Amino acid sequence: MKKFRIGYFADGPWSHLAFEKINQDPRLEIAFIVPRSDTKDYTLKAYADKFSIDYFKCENVNSEDSLEKIDAYNCDILVSMSFNQIFKEEIINLTPNKIINCHAGKLPFYRGRNILNWVLINDESEFGITVHYVDKGIDTGDIILQRTFPISENDSYSSLLNVAFTECANILYDSLVLFVDNKVNPVVQNTIHHLGMYCGRRVDGDEIIDWNDTSRNIFNFIRSISTPGPQANAVISGKTVKINKAKYFKDAPQYIGKPGQILSKTSGGYLVKTKDSFIEVLEVDSKLRIGQKFEN
C-alpha cells in the first residue's frame, strides 16, 4: 500500500503529540520535518533521529533552494503546526493536496495571534480549533475540520493550553485521515461570516492591569495571561507586582470608590477596588497593605 507522504513544518509542544499520532498510523508517512529556524525544540529532532526522518531548517521556505529540496520528496501534502513562516503561492501548490494548517481558533473568527489569551479576555464561553487550507491570506483558507471546547469560570491560559495541545493533535490527525479516505469536504469561510475577525499579537506592556476597568474584565485579563504566560502586572509604590490569579464575585455590589485601592486582606490574597465593584487577587508575588493603591 502506498503511504500518504507528509512534509511536516512544525515546532514546540503543539507538534509533539500530533507527530506521535501521525507516525503510528501505517497509512501515513512523515517524509521530513522542518522546524522554525530559531527553534529551541529538541523533541522533534529526537523523533527524527529515532525514526530516521530527514530533519532540516529552511531560513526561507519560499526560496528557490527550499522549493527544490521540498519538491524532491514527492509529498502528498504539507502540514503546518505552530510554524512561523508565511507560505507563498508556489509552495502552496507544490503538492497535490496543498498545505493545511492547525489553528487554535474558531475560524473565521479569532484569526491571527495569541488566540487563547484573547478568548479569555473577551469572556468567551468556548474556543475552537480549526484545520484549514493555507491560502494567500492569514488564516483565511477553506475549513477542513473544526471543533469547539467549553470555557468554564475555573479555566485559565494554562488549562486552555493543555486542552489545545491534545486536541490540536487529534483534529490534525483526523483531518489527514479524511485525505487518505478521500472524504474532505471543505467549507468556505465567508459562508460562515463575510468578514470574520482578527486578533493582534500581544507584546511587552500588554500585561499591565487597568484598574479603571470592570471586575469581570480584570478577572478575565488576569487569567488570560497567567502562567505560563507573562502574568498580569500592576505597580504600587513604584514597585511592579505580578498577579497570577483572581476571583470574581458575580453578586458584588457596584459602588463608587478608588479603583486600584487595596480594601482588605483575605486568607489567600487581597480585595482590590475596580471600576464597578471589587475582585480578590490571588497568587501575588509581594506583600501588600490595606489602603495602598495600585497605579492606573
* pLDDT attached to residue 1: 73
Residue 105 included in any domain: yes
Instruction: Kindly state the average pLDDT of the residues 172-187.
Output: 98
N- to C-terminal Cα distance for the chain? 65
Residue 295 included in any domain: no
Mean pLDDT value across the chain: 96
Residue 293 included in any domain: no
Which residue in 270, 263, 262 sits closest to 293, CA to CA?
262
The percentage of residues in the chain with a pLDDT greater than 90, rounded to a whole number, is 98
Which residue in 288, 72, 131, 250 sits closest to 272, CA to CA?
288
Does residue 296 have a pLDDT over 90? no
Do 275 and 135 share a structural domain? no
Cell numbers for 164, please give them: 489545545
* pLDDT attached to residue 156: 98
User: Which pLDDT tens digit goes with each residue over 198-232?
Assistant: 999 999 999 999 999 999 999 999 999 999 999 99
Last residue of a domain, one of 169, 199, 229: 199
Last residue of a domain, one of 155, 174, 199: 199
| C-alpha of 59 from chain center | 23
Residue 222 included in any domain: yes
Asked whether the beta carbons of 59 and 31 are under 8 A apart, the reply is: no
Do 169 and 40 share a structural domain? yes
Tell me whether strands 239-247 and 232-236 are parallel, antiparallel or unpaired. Answer: antiparallel
Total domains present in the chain: 2
* pLDDT attached to residue 241: 97
Residue 100 included in any domain: yes
Note down the domain range covering 18. Answer: 4-199
Do 98 and 49 share a structural domain? yes
Do 228 and 183 share a structural domain? no
Residue 53 included in any domain: yes
User: Which pLDDT tens digit goes with each residue over 126-168?
Assistant: 999 999 999 999 999 999 999 999 999 999 999 999 999 999 9
Instruction: Kindly state the average pLDDT of the residues 271-286.
Output: 97
Do 146 and 240 share a structural domain? no
Do 195 and 219 share a structural domain? no
Extract the runs of DSSP E, i.e. beta strands, from 52-204. Answer: 54-55, 77-81, 99-103, 111-112, 126-133, 143-150, 198-199
Distance CA 109, CA 121 (A): 15
Residue 107 included in any domain: yes
Do 145 and 279 share a structural domain? no
Last residue of a domain, one of 199, 226, 260: 199
* pLDDT attached to residue 192: 97
Residue 208 included in any domain: no
Do 77 and 18 share a structural domain? yes
CATH number at residue 59: 3.40.50.170
CATH number at residue 251: 3.10.25.10
Predicted confidence band of residue 184 (pLDDT cuts 50, 70, 90): very high
Instruction: Kindly state the average pLDDT of the residues 45-59.
Output: 97
Numbers of helices and strands, H then E, in the chain: 7, 14
Residue with cell 485521515: 177
Do 19 and 150 share a structural domain? yes
Distance CA 146, CA 189 (A): 12
> How much is the pTM?
0.94
